[in-house]
Amino acid sequence: MAISICVPTYNRLIHIKKLIDSIREGIGDYPYEIIVGDGGSNDGTIEYLKNQKDVTLVQMGGLTGCVKAYNACFKKMKYEYVFWPSDDFIVDSKVLIKCCEIMDKYPEIGLVSPKFVELTRSNFPNVGSWKQILVLSKTHVFRTSVLKKIGYLNERFRTYYPDTDSHLAVLDLGYVTLFAREAGALHTRIVDEVRKSNILDKKIAQEQFEYYVQKWEKLNSRLHVSAFKKYKVLMFRALEDKLRNSRIMQNLMKRNEPFAINLFDWVLQRCVIFEAKEYNHLKDFYLAQKFPKNT
């Protein structure tokens, strides 16, 4: 088995170098390829990428948005699994390999999410949520065949929501999705011209959000959940929010204290209604989810 790592970039030479170096550092003998979709960089990024023997360069010719760049990279990949970080990530390849190995063992798992830590946010894992009944990852290792089944990332999204949208799409196909307990990705969250333009273009962001909500409203109507279960999840979601905003907890998370990490993991597990409890015995993984067959 092997992994493709696909990433879009634009004028972030220093950061794409750090990302690629981090991939190589822990990958060992595990087969891999790196595919980079460049949006027209003029800072030396293209020249650097062309000189990397383990990198395939896809030149987008301009800033088409990260979703189209990811999809262009996906169409070039040749391996069974694919990870898709941002170009301002540092990754732990050993954790990515564990994600692939667990999917080797369990073909019913469609994606595994390595813990995704925001360095600027006290090392809390970055997870998304939808309708308060699921925890949806911001980045994941896809089973390539499953990614193809969902039609890659939805290009109605330019920048925002393809991560949680694709996670929901995998669940909707009936696959299990699983979170890794270890941090496989560290996000430095670079603020530059591209990110500022994405954030400031409120019209595009609002249109993407409205489309996302509309698209999944039909799915939500199929998921019959009792009022008691919803209330229970809401309480744990409130607790999660309090932990994130607690200075004591923030300091403990910055120091990577096991007690704080385990406490936060435990709370996240209770923010899920559709838990696949048969995977709870896996020591390196937690928070397995699967939609019920009859929804």
Helix/strand/coil for 132 = coil
| Identity of the amino acid at 154 | N
Residue 57 domain-assigned? Answer: yes
Q: Share the mean pLDDT of the chain.
A: 89
In the predicted structure, residue 103 carries a pLDDT above the cut 90: yes
Residue 154, CA distances (Å) to 48, 68, 69 in order: 30, 9, 12
In the chain, DSSP finds a helix count (H) and a strand count (E) of 11, 11
Residue 98 domain-assigned? Answer: yes
- Residue range 253-270, pLDDT digits in tens: 988 899 999 999 899 888
Residue 245 domain-assigned? Answer: no
Residue 269 domain-assigned? Answer: no
Residue 96 domain-assigned? Answer: yes
| 245 φ/ψ angles, rounded to the nearest 5 degrees | -95, 0
Q: What share of the chain has pLDDT > 90, as a percent?
A: 58
Which is more confident, 265 or 200?
A: 265
Domain CATH number, residue 112: 3.90.550.10
Residue 66 domain-assigned? Answer: yes
CA dist 33 and 82 (Å) reads 9
The count of domains in the chain is: 1
Range of the domain at 20: 3-218+275-288
Give me the pLDDT at residue 104, please. 96
Q: Could you tell me how far CA 280 lies from the centroid of its own chain?
A: 21
